Each structure stands twice: as structure tokens, then as C-alpha cells.
Structure 1
Amino acid sequence: MQADFSFAVLRHGATSWNRDGRIQGHSDIGLLPETRDQLHRLRLPGEWADQPWYTSPLKRTGETMSALGIDVVGALPAFIEMNWGQWEGRKLADIRAAQGDAMQQNEDRGWDFRPEGGESPRDVLQRVLAFLRQWPNGDFGVTTHKGVIRALYAHARGWNMLGKSPDKLRWDALHVFRWSAAKGLSVSQLNVPLIPIKGHLP
């Protein structure tokens, strides 16, 4: 295994469920056509264009890479979205309205917030950390999901996932982390934008 390496994470492009405000989790929803069109006009920045890229097992991540013109190595199951269980397909506002104080108490658990029948952010973090500890191949990129990126970020920054995060994350940009066998996970760069392709008609 590699003792030290960097990796970049990029959230997938928008789907119809993103547009409608529905929780996706493990539901396998594809990208909107307009999202593909937007991604066709962009490329990965700098050195990350030359690194090996992977996806989660869900098709919205693979479709994002395809629209960016990137041939991926394969899928990494550890980077699949947080499982939202019985709440998938529903809107968070509707769940809050239906559950009232019980939902607020659940959200106030931070790392241990858990959708009915689903995973907690702590569960997500543990599966990704287990992967990083065993990764043998050096620097890489992976197209993944908001729940995974938030868990990585919160752990690296020491945020308890309550209230506002220390930094405002852009969900259309890369976030770069460093893994050290001795020191664990740290933030290298946040909000690294995708680059517009010169000469591409809007």
C-alpha cells in the first residue's frame, strides 16, 4: 500500500432528482441532458487531467466523467453515496415537516444522524477511510457524491457536522485531500474549478 498520496474528489453533475430536490442516496439516477451539455464544455484542471480517474458504482458519476471526456479505470464501491434508506426519493423539507422534533433531534446528532434504514455520515467516513488505508496505487481522482465529500471534508477539518461548515464548498469543483499513513487525512485544496474549453461554443 502507498503510505502517502493525494486524491481529488468531484461531485457528479445534476440529475432530475437534484433538480427536484429529491434525496438520491443509492438510487441510480442518470444526468440531465443539459448537465451533459454543460460538462462537454469543461475539462479537468492541470495535473488532475493526467491522473487515473475512478467513479462510484452509480451511473451519474460515470456519465459525468464521460461528458468530461475522461476514460475511467473503474468503479470504487467505497465512494458510493450515503445510503438514505427509506427516505430516498423524498424531499428533506417534507421529512422535516412530517417528523418535526424527532427529525431535528436526529439532525442534531451530527456525525451520527441516520436516515431510516440508511447510513450515518460516520458509516460513510469509516468505509472510505478503510479504503484509503489499503490503497496501493498512489494519486488518483474519483467522481463521487455530496455525502461522501462532506464526510471526508468534515473529518479532515475537524468539523462536527453541526451548523455551518468552516468553508463553503462548491459542488461543481474539485476538492483535493492528502492521505498520510502517519497523519491521516488532511485538506490540500478546496474549490478547484473545472476549466472552460477554449473555442468551445456556448
Structure 2
Amino acid sequence: MIQLAIIRHGYTPWNQAGRIQGRTDIALEARAAKDLERFSLPAEWARADLMASPLQRAVQTARIIADRAPATDAALTEMDWGKWEGKHGLDLKQDHNSGFRDIEDWGWDYRPPEGESPADIWARLQPWVTGLKRNTVAVCHIGIMRVLLAKAHGWDFSGPAPFRIKRNWLFLIDVGERLTVGAPERVKLQERG
């Protein structure tokens, strides 16, 4: 069975400011890049295929933690937030006319104005996932991770998520006829020497 290890990119200035960055191509914050230099992939994942979203924050993270350049695939690009791109999530949440919802109330078909739904994201991820030939590390984004982990956990974006995405952790997914949660479920990046 093939295993997929997914990890979220390091912090960007927009993450720190609470802005929705989606497909906006923002580099890592200098401090985040420096902090990532303390970590590497665990030994059992060091020789796996290395993939990343083509957005620079994911490519930078992959290069730092793996000491090599990743292959990129557009399927791993972050969710399209449409008209909400660049806005502050807290402002949208406080504006009762925005249509903004917490993730627990999304369902698979919720979509920001002119953006993508989780179902749309899965439609572009599924061919990529089913085409994997070897164990693979994918450096991507929280929206991509939510969809993959939702599929692995059988979660329908209704009610509390059965997972919590943390930075500097690989979340493991077994890729078979369907996605399932790996064992262990997650592995921390290794601290360098």
C-alpha cells in the first residue's frame, strides 16, 4: 500500500495577519524559514517522492525540510477563496451578510463567492492521489490537507473535525481503494543534529 504524508507550509506574513491567502503566491516569513531550518524529514520519509504545491511558500518549505527541490503539481495548489482572497477571516465572520461559515458548517458543497468548494478541491486532488506510485511527501496548504484528511477520516465537513492540523507534523494517509488514516496518524518532523 502507498502512503501519503502531507504537511502544511511554514508561516507567511498573511498567516500572521489572519488574512485569507488561498492562491496568492506569498513567500514564507523570514523568521518562519529560519525556524524551519531546525527540522528535517524523519529518516523513514527522507527517500520518499517529494511533491509540493507550486506556490512559493510550499516549495520553500519542501526545500528546507528535505534538502532538495520538490516536484510541483497544480492539484496541490491551495483552495480558491474567490472574492474573499486577502480579506481577514475575523472580519468576514463578524459580517453577518458575508455568507462566511466556520468549517464545521461547510458540508462538501460550501463555496466562497467565486471560489472553490471542498468537493471541487477533491475533484482535482483525486486523480493526483490515485496516480501516486510510491510513498510520497506532499508539502501543501491547510485547505488541501482538510480535504484529504476529511476523506481519510470519513468526515463530511459537518460538526467538529476529527483532526487538528498542526505545523511541523506529517499527517499520514494510506492510499488504497479509498483513503484511510495512517498508523501512526502523524509524525513530527525531526530536529536536526
TM-score for the superposition, normalised by structure 1? 0.87
Question: What stretches of structure 2 of length at least 5 have no aligned partner?
Answer: none
How far has the Cα of 1:51 moved from its partner? Answer: 1.1
SS at match of 2:100: helix
Larger CA deviation: 45-54 vs 106-115: 106-115
C-alpha RMSD of the superposition: 1.9
8 A Cα contact 1:11 1:144, kept in partner: yes
Which structure 1 residue ranges, 5 or more long, are not aligned?
A: none
> Residue 190 of structure 1 corresponds to which residue in structure 2?
185
Compute the displacement of 1:163 (Å): 2.5
1:162 match? 158
- Structure with larger Rg: 1
- 1:92 maps to which of 67, 82, 89: 89
Contact 1:7 1:177 in 2 (8 A): yes
Matched, 1:143 2:155: no
TM alignment of 1:1-202, pairs within 5 A: 4-100=1-97, 102-104=99-101, 108-135=105-132, 137-180=133-176, 183-188=177-182, 189-198=184-193
- Give a deviation string over 1:90-145, Cα, whole Å, max 9, x none: 0111112224484349973422111111100111112111222233x321111000
Q: CA deviation at 1:86?
A: 1.1
1:25-81 deviations in Å (ceiling 9; x for gaps): 000000011111111111111211121211101000111122225213410111111
**Do 2:82 and 2:112's aligned partners in 1 also have CA atoms closer than 8 Å?**
yes
Aligned residues: 192
- Following superposition, the deviation at residue 153 of structure 1 comes to 0.6
**Identity over the aligned pairs, expressed in percent?**
33
TM-score with structure 2 length normalisation? Answer: 0.91
